[in-house]
Amino acid sequence: MDENPRARPGEKLTLGAALSDAGSPIRRAWPNRCAVCRNDTQGVGQRLCADCVARFAPHEARCRLCALPLASPLGVCGRCLRDPPPWSRAVAACDYAYPWDGLVAALKFHDALDLSGALAGLLAARLVERGSGEEAAGRPAPGEPVTNGEATAVDALVPMPLSEARLAQRGYNQAALLARALGAALRLPVRDGWLLRIADTTQQATLPRERRMANVRGAFAVEPRALPLLRGRRIALIDDVMTTGATLTEAAREVLAAGAAQVQVWVVARTPD
């Protein structure tokens, strides 16, 4: 099957094929609405307008290890200097606050699957910031290579997995949806299935901070067939939200113990401390 859905000479291009082709003029001009302000936008996947992104997700200095906002661009906060996490870099697109908290919840719990591309695009824009990082360059144009340090230092994206019971209940893994959209934007492979959640633990949001690390201990394992593929690779773990970082910490330790050379953590939103 041809990957490019455009019609061959003499063939009729169907509407479905035109909408599935990222380069299609119909896809780019398709009317849509911003998920925040509801103003008109253009493009099948264009669910966030530039005004809302600029207003609610401005670039700000964040700790390179925990992604919490910093008062000044110091690089690493005092807490991470004293007790660094197992990963080498954490990137968050925005704070877990209005309107992003509502959009993440809609994707995660209310089947708003169309928001995965918009939220992944927000994270992709943060990752492709050039130069000093003080100005956002946005997502790369088709055919444009990614030159940012975060994306080029990664070999594969690994979405945070759900347990079999949670996946059956929800019907989809929002982290996998985000990873696929992010991989397409950054031209990076997505390895869904390399990391498994082998324990159906209590939801972290229902537990106090001091119990969250113990709750997820031993919850993850690397798929045995992925072990030779993972060794020596630089991995970015993808998730929707980071709160205490306990779940990501346990997953990162498992991936590193399996032989990964380096782990980064990329999330859409970071909760305040």
Domain coordinates of the chain in residue numbers?
60-270
Does the pTM surpass 0.75? The reply is: yes
Least confident range from 37-41, 66-70, 135-139, 205-209: namely 135-139
Predicted local confidence at residue 236, as pLDDT: 97
pLDDT for 111 equals: 94
> In which band, very low, low, confident or very high, does the pLDDT at 189 lie, cut at 50, 70 and 90?
very high
b/e burial code for range 18-37 (CB count within 10 A of at least 16 → b): beebeebeebeebebebbbe
Looking at the predicted structure, is the pLDDT value of residue 33 above 80?
A: yes
Q: Say what percent of the chain tops pLDDT 90.
A: 59
**DSSP code, position 219:** -
Note the pLDDT tens digit of each residue in 91-114.
999 999 999 999 999 999 999 999
| 118-166 tens-digit pLDDT | 999 999 999 987 333 333 333 444 334 344 456 668 999 999 999 998 8
Distance of alpha carbon 204 from alpha carbon 66, whole angstroms: 18
Contact 244, 212 (CB under 8 A): yes
Among residues 227, 141, 149, 245, which one has the least CA distance to residue 191? Answer: 227
Contacts 24+ apart (CB under 8 A), 16-25: 19/44, 22/142, 23/142
SS3 assignment for 178-197? HHHHHHHHHCCCECCCCEEE
Question: Which position has the token pair 């909760």?
Answer: 271
The total of other beta-carbon atoms located within 10 Å of residue 261's CB is 13
Is 88's pLDDT higher than 60? yes
**Distance (Å, whole) CA 252 – CA 86:** 6
Q: Which CATH architecture has domain 60-270?
A: 3-Layer(aba) Sandwich (3.40)
Could you give the angle at which helices 115-127 and 174-186 cross, rounded to 10 degrees? 50
Phi, psi angle pair for 170, to nearest 5°: -85, -35
Written as six digits, the tokens of 170 are 């929800």
Mean pLDDT of 174-182: 96
